[in-house]
Structure 1
Amino acid sequence: MFLLSSDSAKTTPAAGFESLPSPSFFSMANAYDMTGPVEILQLRHSPDKENNFFTLFENNISGVYYASFSPLEEVSDLIPPDHTSLQSMTYLHSHEYYEFMFLIDGEIYQNIEHFRHYYPAGGCCLVDPHVLHAEEYATACRVLFFKISQSFMQQILAFPRYFPSENNTAYHRLLDYIQSERHFTDFIPANGYEWIQHHIHNIFERMICELSAPSDNISLKLACYASQLMMELFDPVKFSNTPLTSEHQRNQNLFNRIRNYMLTSDRKITRADLEAYFNYSGDTLYKTIKNFTGLSIHDYSSYICMKKAADLLISSDENINDIAESVGFRNFTQFYREFKKFYHVTPREYRLAYASYRQKDS
């Protein structure tokens, strides 16, 4: 098992570990599953090895699992010849649970709905259910993913709080976040990485030990550890939810303006549209969008249109062709092709899958 506070990780399975199934899902799946109320997945990326090797340890209610693999080997037949880099093959995915991502060491970019966020060691973010995102692995790093089901999250929040000390700022910040329309939040540690090692890592060590050797009151212990973790993260003295200021703040402001312009338009925005509206050169606009999303102007504009279409597919009974027209597509074949490019299913399959989930959830 990985030791969170050590400089190096053991990458050989311990006795009693089971091998994970073929992990091609890691890069290609549109939605991940989880077993039980919580899971912890530890990942080590080793780019110095051939084909960018990954090592995984997963702790859940069913036991402890281990896998070591190269994603390029797993999905090489599915990747176009000119898209063989690791970042190119990291597809946006979503899942039905809350996911905390902690960077143990190294550095990583988290691409959340085509908005890239940088995290150094000690960085953390929380991604909500059904939010499209992807981790970009370019350097050596170790990452811990803490998954918590929606039902378990609600049970923790609904647990009675009898003492005045429990009615604190961190608890109310957590409630405000869960009840808000935000899709993710960053946690920037105020006390440095050493404090993270001694406090946050310790909570995960306890959860990992409990999942590895369940006690007779494991559910209560996991609820306590998860609650303690969230109280630490939402404590404004210990963590800030405002990302670190970038030296390119002006570029970020420009990108935010571009994004808002695209979101409020009733058609697909082109490079010429942006040049005319913002009075910037096409090269500047291209570089700005590419830096924050990893996409070209054409692809990011298409993504914005597809995101609008996806929202309409699940919030209305409107005909799919009418939805295509409402987001600026009169060529329905092109609309279907663009939608599948970003969501990996057809618009009809997307609508049916959401309806099936809602029926199961009710």
Structure 2
Amino acid sequence: MSVDYKIELKKLVSALQVEAKSHHKNRDFLQLLPFNPEKQESYDLYTMNSPFSLTIIDYTPDAPYLFAFIGAETAFSIAVDTRQLSRLHKHDYFELFYILDGHLDIMIEGSHHRYESGEACLINCNARHVEEYRSAFLAVYLNFSPQYLSALTKHLFLDTQKDGLPWFLSQNIQADQKDRKDYIDFTPMPAPDEGISNGMEQLIYRIVSESKGKAPGYEDIVSGSLKRLLFHLQSPIEYTHSYVRLKAIREQNLFEDTVTYINLQKRKVSRSELADALNYNGDYISQIFYKQTGQTLADYIRNVCLREAASLLLNTDLSASAIIHRLGFENRTAFYRQFKKKYQVTLDEYRHNYRNF
């Protein structure tokens, strides 16, 4: 007879419940957690005082939901109002959540995501997110300090293929990656039976029960079970992976917006104008442009202007001086020199040689 680990997990969580009738009316219960919530202007920052902890949320709409926490020294469950944890936040630890039942709606850096039963997501320390609590779900959150996660996975993976879990860890665990806001999604492969999900649920139940019981040697059992869980998540036979680099996406969008703006203007554009138009620092725009192309922003703008000058010479009757003025260049001599360097002829010679072709 197979064991329903979701039901067993709910029983285990219920056994942790404490009498705290007033906690669901305010945020006092957060004082029980080994986290230090620091209120920033637009989000909360949670710092963890232990290498590993776990949280379980059993949410039902229109009612206080069950929130359970198990750490090195604290273990409890309590009925909580969703308003207590519905504020944008980030952590100084990695958070891996796994959906055991239902589906979870969550905003990650302004983008909506829905995770179904059997799916998981590992979020790095910098990505801001908030659960939306729309529909019923049961989820476990495994919280790793960067040092603990690094030690846990040091010799776990042989394959460091780009975009997989090992690559995600190598890119995000380093202390100097404070500007990265990455996460990786895990979606189970279609299977003829529920062996994979049931195996994951069994592992999660073991991690939770051992962490709760704290019998001698439990740390090794938890560590080994976490390694096994991460190994399963990385397996291409069991899961597909989607590594999302929010910084890379933003940089690509900024690069494309920069190119679009310059080509629409078809004239000399300054860094300060770009900064005002795109709402980014001018030096940062230049850095991203060079990173994407290997070409300086000034060189690209110059080439756009030279191509526009050539087009105007062929398609209008504007004089060379009028064209140079229209393109925003004050030093006509320098523009003449640049044009001849690119096309090997002067502006007048270019019009004479190519206008009738």
TM-score using structure 2 length: 0.55
> What letter is aligned with 1:69?
V
Please say if residues 63 and 212 of structure 1, whose CA atoms lie closer than 8 Å, have aligned partners that are also in contact.
no
Equivalent in 15, 21, 29 of residue 22 of structure 1: 29
In structure 2, the partner of 1:207 is 207
Which one of the candidate residues 98, 102, 105 is aligned to 1:102? 98
Paired residues of 1:95 and 1:130 also in contact (CA < 8 A): yes
Deviation at 1:96, TM superposition (A): 0.9
CA distance 1:231–1:132, change in 2 (3 Å): same
Task: Pick one of 166, 171, 182 that aligns with 1:175.
Answer: 166
Q: Which amino acid aligns with 1:185?
A: I
SS in 1 for 2:7: coil
Please tell me whether the aligned partners of residues 5 and 197 of structure 1 are also in contact (alpha carbons under 8 angstroms). Answer: no
Question: What is the rounded CA distance, in whole Å, between the counterparts of 1:258 and 1:171 in structure 2?
Answer: 20
Pairing partner for 2:110 from 106, 109, 114: 114
Mapping of 1:95-174 within 5 angstroms?
A: 95-159=91-155, 167=158, 173-174=164-165
> What residue in structure 1 maps to residue 301 of structure 2?
none
2:268 aligned partner: none
Say which of 74, 78, 81 aligns to 1:63.
Answer: 74
Q: 2:184 aligns to what?
A: 185
Corresponding residue of 2:342: none
Query: What is the 5 A alignment of 1:263-282?
Result: none
**Whole-Å separation in 1 of the counterparts to 2:214 and 2:249:** 50
Question: Against the structure 1 CA distance between its residues 47 and 7, is the aligned structure 2 distance closer, same or farther, given a 3 Å change threshold?
Answer: farther
Tell me, yes or no, if the aligned pair for 2:163 and 2:241 is still in contact at 8 Å: no
For the pair 1:38 / 2:52, whether they are aligned, the reply is yes
User: What's the CA shift string for 1:300-323, capped at 9, x where partnerless?
Assistant: xxxx96xx78xx9xxxxxxxxxxx
Are the aligned partners of 1:170 and 1:232 in contact in 2 as well (CA < 8 Å)? no
Per-residue deviation, 1:242: 3.6
Relative distance call for 1:11 and 1:38 in structure 2 (3 A) is closer
Task: Give 3-state SS (helix, strand or coil) of 2:209's partner.
Answer: helix
Given that 1:128 and 1:183 are in contact with CA atoms closer than 8 Å, whether structure 2 keeps it comes out as yes
For residues 330-360 of structure 1, give each alpha carbon's deviation from its aligned partner in whole angstroms, at most 9, with x where no partner exists. Answer: xxxxxxxxxxxxxxxxxxxxxxxxxxxxxxx
Distance 1:230 1:264 in 2: 36
Instruction: Determine the C-alpha separation between the residues in 2 that align with 1:108 and 1:172.
Output: 24
| Residues 60 and 29 (structure 1), Cα distance of their counterparts in 2 relative to 1, 3 Å cut | farther
Aligned pairs, number: 238
- Distance (Å, rounded) in 2 between the aligned partners of 1:118 and 1:35: 30
Q: Alpha-carbon deviation of 1:143?
A: 1.5
Counting aligned pairs with the same residue, the percent is 17
Distance 1:237 1:206 in 2: 23
Structure 1 equivalent of residue 331 of structure 2: none
Letter of the 2:215 counterpart = S
Q: Is the 8 A contact 1:109 1:137 kept in 2?
A: yes
1:106-127 Cα deviation digits (max 9, x unpaired): 1122211112222111111110
Contact 1:44/1:56, CA 8 A, preserved across alignment? yes
Distance in 2 (alpha carbons) for counterparts of 1:101 and 1:26: 22
Q: 2 CA distance for matches of 1:169 and 1:44?
A: 35
Query: 2:185 & 2:43 partners in 1: Cα distance?
Result: 24
Contact 1:63/1:211 (<8 A) preserved: no
Deviation, 1:188, is 0.5
Tell me how far 1:265 sits from its aligned partner: 5.2
Query: Secondary structure of 1:5's match?
Result: helix
Matched, 1:6 2:7: yes
RMSD between superposed Cα atoms in Å = 4.1
Contact 2:102 2:135 in 1 (8 A): yes
Q: How do 1:326-337 and structure 2 match up within 5 A?
A: none
Distance 1:258 1:95 in 2: 21
Give the residue type in structure 2 aligned to 1:39: S
Alignment of 1:256-267 (within 5 A): 260-261=252-253
More displaced 10-residue stretch of structure 1: 6-15 or 39-48:
6-15
Contact 2:196 2:238 in 1 (8 A): no
In 2 relative to 1, CA 174–18 (structure 1 residues): closer, same or farther, beyond 3 Å?
Answer: farther
Is 193-202 or 206-215 further displaced after alignment? 193-202
5+ residue gaps, structure 2, are 32-36, 172-179, 266-277, 285-357
Tell me the CA shift for residue 222 of structure 1: 2.2
Task: Please identify the structure whose Cα radius of gyration is greater.
Answer: 2
Unaligned runs of 5+ in 1: 75-88, 244-255, 267-272, 278-303, 313-362
Residue 264 of structure 1, CA deviation: 5.9
Displacement, 1:149? 1.2
| Paired letter, 2:189 | A
Name the aligned partner's letter for residue 187 of structure 2.
I
State the shift of 1:31 in Å.
Answer: 1.6
